[in-house]
Amino acid sequence: MYLRSDDRPRGSRLSLRIAVLGGFAVALFAVLFFRLWTLQVLDGDKYLAEAKNNRSREFKVIAPRGDILDRDGNVMVDNRTSLALVLNMQKLPGDPREQKAELARVGELAQMSPKRMRRTIRESEESAAGAPVTLRRDVDYDLVYYLEENQRRFPGVSVQRVFVRHYPHATTAAHLVGSVGEISEKELTEAPYKGLEAGDEVGKGGVEYTYDRFLRGTPGLTKVQVNALGQPTPGGQLVSEPPAPGDNLKLTIDPDVQAAGESALVSRGLPGAFVSMNINNGQILGLGSFPTFDPSVFTKPMTQAQVNALYRDPVTAPLFNRATEGAYPTGSIFKIVTALAALENGEITTGTSIVDDGELTIGGQSFENAGDAEYGPLSLVRALQVSSDVFFYTLGLQMANTNELQAEAHRLGIARPTGLDLPEESEGLLPSKRWRDQLYAEGGTDRPWSVGDNIQLATGQGDLQATPLQMAIAYAALGNGGRIVTPHVGLEVEDAAGRVLREFDYPARRKIHIDPGYRATILEGLHDAAQVAPGTGAPVFGGFPIPVAGKTGTAERPGHADQSWFAVLAPYPDPRIVTIVTIEEGGFGAESAAPAALRILEAYFDKQATAGETGGATIAE
């Protein structure tokens, strides 16, 4: 009788199973032993270091930004400390429902609605992903004490002491100084911001942006020992590296000139701008735009809707710097460009006489003087004094088939970048035959270039778009004999003790030829226009004790009432400064812009006189 295969003794089958299980167990223990050996022997030092790191925490200590000073050393912007309520998104629960409940509790703490909380977090993530979210600034100590007592309920919330920009003079020079804000994801990839992290603050506008590398300090580091709950232990500070504050930036701004210009704009109550500049080195003594804004609004968290309300206000546009970005027709202050073009190209001489009978008619179209005035035979000096449109219409007609007028305007800096050390600037528009014909070919206008366009340009009208700063540069070139200066507001960098670390040198962009005789003739005409009756500016500057050379301008601007302009070089005949003022819908130049310019020059020369009496150094030399 034979035994079947499954009739083997039960003991042998059990032994086989035990052998298999034993072999598996030995293999498993071998793997575990090898892994433990790897962790303890090969990687032991690494994990020991990580374990020690779990017993400590590193905290970045924010460095205060440097102060911004005017040329006299007065503080324009400094810092104050603030308590900020900060949410670390990495410490929130991973479960969506638990996270929602946690955010609801945090919202109550921050006095924010759930909708506003979500929007704030979303906008923070979009601009600086991974950075702690600042919910509120300037929180009071009652909230600090409450958080300390209830930290376990709010694991992702902390109160941090931060430096916040402080503006002692509120809106003064707001467009110049600019603002700061958290660095964006795009900026983190750019070379100037190498080494910065999400959540760090950098300059966002004005000199805060341009000179950020000097104003921004170097953060410090504090390393403390913590317990198992991650809380600092008593006496547990391990390392402390103090932050290095940013350097101070001194500007070229004269506080008296700046205050006078801004006050003059405010008193008129209409949108406008002013520029006052040293004609020899381009140092800006004052630059302002109205309406303005309070830069302190940017020291608090803002929703995108709030930012849009500031940027996109169609009427006041408070963040729009009209001195550098406002491109307008300039009216009669452009006539110095036309005069130089005609003289330099032999269209007239300083003694040429043109008869002004009140109008110039070309092809059935009449170009008339303002107020239907008739002046008869006029030389250039007299034409500038009374601001004869017909005289300059005639020059525009004589240069209609050439590019002489446009070339002269381009040489003087019209519709060209100025090199200003501020990020906000408009290039403007210098109309020409080539430009308009191209626009017409593309369907952007209803007609090509005509003689009338050049006639209009000769008096600063038509399609011309120039900024107050560009006109200041053109007048400066006339005043200094042909140097196209580089306008700037940065003067020097100082340390906390006032020691000069760096001086900014902005050389002239180029030198153009201006015949001294032509310059003298045009300045004479401007002097008579400003201070000799019946000069258009004489009702305002006639009694001013300092001789000046100035020109009124009244520009027609489609969709708006007439725009008021005034340009003045002082003192005459060897000027040091130029001042340009424009006021939207301000009417005649002598009505709004000239009185504002007068206030600026009064402030400048009063300070000059005071400095001379006390033996002090004069300014802007």
Neighbours of 322 (CB within 10 A): 26
pLDDT over 70 at 163, yes or no: yes
Beta strands in 353-488 (DSSP E): 354-356, 359-362, 365-368, 376-378, 483-484
> Could you tell me the CATH number of the domain that includes residue 589?
3.40.710.10
Q: Given this model, what pLDDT does residue 239 score?
A: 57
Q: Is the pLDDT of residue 1 over 70?
A: no
Q: Is 284 exposed, middle or buried (0-12, 13-18, 19+ CB in 10 A)?
A: buried
Tell whether the model's pLDDT for residue 49 goes beyond 70. no
pLDDT (0 to 100) of residue 620: 47
Instruction: State whether 288 and 391 are in the same domain.
Output: yes
The pLDDT of residue 43:
60
> Residue 617: pLDDT band by 50, 70, 90 thresholds?
very low
32, part of any domain = no
Q: What is the mean pLDDT of the chain?
A: 86
**Residue 563 confidence (pLDDT):** 98
Percent of the chain with pLDDT over 90: 60
Task: Please tell me the predicted confidence (pLDDT) of residue 127.
Answer: 56
358 in a structural domain? yes
Tokens of 394: 């005639």
Domain boundary among 251, 281, 303: 251
* Least reliable range by pLDDT among 18-22, 279-283, 459-463: 18-22
Taking the alpha carbons of 565, 570, 573, 575 in that order, is the dihedral positive or negative? negative
Mean pLDDT for the stretch of residues 493-515: 95
- What pLDDT is recorded for position 411? 97
- Whose CA is closest to 280, among 72, 544, 576, 2? 576
| pLDDT value, residue 87 | 80
Statement to judge: residues 225 and 289 lie in one domain:
no
pLDDT tier for residue 97 given thresholds of 50, 70 and 90? confident
Task: Print the SS3 string covering 47-77.
Answer: HHHHHHHCCEEEEEECCCCCCEECCCCCEEE
CA 9 to chain centroid: 95
Q: With CA atoms as reference, report the closest residue to 286 among 324, 256, 325, 249.
A: 256
Neighbour tally for 291: CB within 10 Å: 19
138 plus 162 within the same structural domain: yes
Provide the 3-class DSSP secondary structure of residue 586. Answer: coil
- Is the pLDDT score of 101 beyond 80? no
| pLDDT tens by residue, 19-29 | 777 777 777 77
Mean per-residue pLDDT, 267-276: 97
| Residue 5 resides in a domain | no
User: Does 426 have pLDDT greater than 80?
Assistant: yes
Are 335 and 210 contained in the same domain? Answer: no
Q: Please tell me the number of Cα atoms within 13 Å of 39 on its side-chain side.
A: 9
Of 292, 294, 290, 262, the closest CA to residue 276 belongs to 262
Residues 191 and 305 in one domain: no
Highest mean pLDDT among 57-61, 82-86, 476-480: 476-480
Domain boundary among 251, 286, 302: 251
> What pLDDT score was predicted for residue 147?
74
Nearest of 258, 286, 80, 228 to residue 167 by alpha carbon: 80
Do both 425 and 569 map to the same domain?
A: yes
Dist. CA 448–CA 440, nearest whole Å: 6
Rounded to whole angstroms, how far apart are CA atoms 522 and 528? 10
Angle at which helices 141-149 and 96-110 pack, to 10 degrees? 150
Residues 267 and 289 in one domain: yes
Q: How many domains is the chain partitioned into structurally?
A: 2
Question: What is residue 619's predicted lDDT score, i.e. its pLDDT?
Answer: 45
Is 9 domain-assigned? no
Task: For 228-268, write each residue's pLDDT tens digit.
Answer: 555 555 555 555 678 889 999 999 999 999 999 999 999 99
Q: What is the pLDDT of residues 525-581, one digit of tens each?
A: 999 999 999 999 999 999 999 999 999 999 999 999 999 999 999 999 999 999 999
Looking at the predicted structure, is the pLDDT value of residue 379 above 80?
Answer: yes
User: Residue 58: what pLDDT?
Assistant: 63
Split at pLDDT 50, 70, 90, the class of 621 is very low
Rounded to two decimals, the pTM is: 0.83
State which amino acid sits at residue 551: K
Question: 413 and 272 in one domain?
Answer: yes
Residue 21 placed within a domain: no
CATH of the domain at 242: 3.90.1310.10
Phi, psi values for residue 541, rounded to 5°: -100, 0
pLDDT bracket for residue 366 (50, 70, 90):
very high
Of all residues in the chain, what percent are helix, strand and coil, respectively (each to 5)?
40, 20, 40
> Could you tell me which residues are beta bridge partners of residue 570?
577
Q: Where is average pLDDT lowest: 143-147, 323-327, 372-376?
A: 143-147
Q: How many CB atoms lie within 10 A of CB 409?
A: 26
Residues 261 and 241 in one domain: no
Does 242 lie in the same domain as 284?
A: no
Per-residue pLDDT band for 616 (boundaries 50, 70, 90) equals very low
Which pLDDT value is given to residue 321? 95
Which range among 2-6, 271-275, 395-399 shows the weakest confidence by mean pLDDT? 2-6
pLDDT of residue 331: 97
Does the pLDDT of residue 135 top 90, yes or no? Answer: no
- Whether residue 261 lies inside any domain: the answer is yes
- How far apart (Å, rounded) are the C-alpha atoms in residues 448 and 561? 27
Assign 391 to helix, strand or coil.
Answer: helix
Are 280 and 480 in contact by the 8 Å Cβ rule? The answer is yes
Q: What is the DSSP letter of 562?
A: P
- pLDDT for 346 beyond 90: yes
Using pLDDT thresholds of 50, 70 and 90, give the confidence band for residue 614. very low
What pLDDT, on the 0 to 100 scale, is given for residue 197? 81
Tokens of 110: 């921050």
13 within some domain: no
Cβ proximity of 478 and 523 under 8 Å: yes
pLDDT of 53 strictly over 60: no
Report d(CA 509, CA 477) in Å as an integer: 11
User: Do residues 477 and 509 both lie within one domain?
Assistant: yes
Q: Tokens representing 307?
A: 């930012």
- The residue from 251, 277, 292 where one domain ends is 251
Q: What mean pLDDT is predicted for residues 125-130?
A: 58
Does residue 208 fall inside a structural domain?
A: yes
Q: Are residues 370 and 228 located together in one domain of the fold? A: no
Instruction: Give the residue with greater pLDDT, 428 vs 141.
Output: 428
Note the pLDDT of residue 3.
46
- Residue numbers of the domain that contains 479: 255-312+327-614
Average pLDDT on 395-402 reads 96
